[in-house]
Amino acid sequence: MSERRPSPNNELVALYPGSFDPLHNGHVDIIHRASDLFGHVIVAVYDKPDKRLYFTTAERVELVRESVAQWTNVEAASYANLTVDYARDRSAHAIIRGLRATSDFDFEFQLALMNRHLNEDIEALFLMTSLEHAHLSSTLVKELSQHGAPIEDLVPAGVAEALRRKRERTDG
Ligand code: ADP
């Protein structure tokens, strides 16, 4: 892998919103690359996504926080309002999303156009997944974990540990 550029000395703020239930290495890769481009990156954990949650909002935020601690220009937060409203509240210039496959595109396209309709001042920016993370999703990680399959290569250490604890509680 090429050597990383130092964090940029600029005032551009990016919001990276998602469910992060839980955070995995595909997300971490996007966060790391965004932190090379933006002066400040807010990883924004959505409080009430339209899906059944495995981890509470506080747990999801804490797992993000400890996993991004090495990047001083990255922050973890939660929000419960519309993403564009939260982005405006936090003075974000762009909303970052990751793209894995063409199957992500339709939904992300619709979402980006709706967000622009709601607030045309905030740009949507897409970062393509890295090849080694293209197959990764939170849903698959949870499923593997529930069946006791190894997930240490797919998620940060703290997330693997949290998944293990959660599984033991559910099993026991
Ligand atoms: P959502 O926000 O749709 O509930 P997630 O929390 O899983 O979904 O993901 C947040 C963002 O990260 C989304 O833009 C999603 O496309 C992106 N993402 C998810 N998995 C990957 C991956 N393996 N590589 C790159 N980006 C990803």
With a 6 Å cutoff on the Cβ, whether 49 touches ligand 1 is yes
Who contacts 42 (Cβ-Cβ below 8 Å, separation ≥6)?
13, 14, 15, 16, 74, 75, 76, 77, 90, 92
Which residues of the chain have a pLDDT value below 50?
A: none
Under DSSP, is residue 123 helix (H, G, I), strand (E, B) or coil? strand
Structural domains in the chain plus CATH codes? 11-171 (3.40.50.620)
pLDDT for res 10: 85
> How many residues are given for the chain?
172
Strands 13-18 and 123-128: unpaired
Q: What is the layout of strands, in order, in the sheet containing 94-99?
A: 74-79, 40-46, 13-18, 94-99, 123-128
Q: pLDDT by residue (tens digit) across 120-150? A: 999 999 999 999 999 999 999 999 999 999 9
User: Which residue minimizes the CA distance to atom 10 of ligand 1?
Assistant: 18
pLDDT for res 7: 63
pLDDT for res 2: 56
User: Which residue minimizes the CA distance to atom 22 of ligand 1?
Assistant: 26
Q: Which residues of 110-128 are buried (b: 16+ CB within 10 A; e: fewer)?
A: eebeebeeeeeebbbbebe
pLDDT for res 51: 86
With a 6 Å cutoff on the Cβ, whether 33 touches ligand 1 is no
Which amino acids are annotated catalytic?
A: 27, 51, 100, 138
pTM of the complete model = 0.93
With a 6 Å cutoff on the Cβ, whether 133 touches ligand 1 is yes
pLDDT for res 103: 79
Ligand 1 atom at minimum distance from 20 CA: 6
pLDDT for res 101: 81
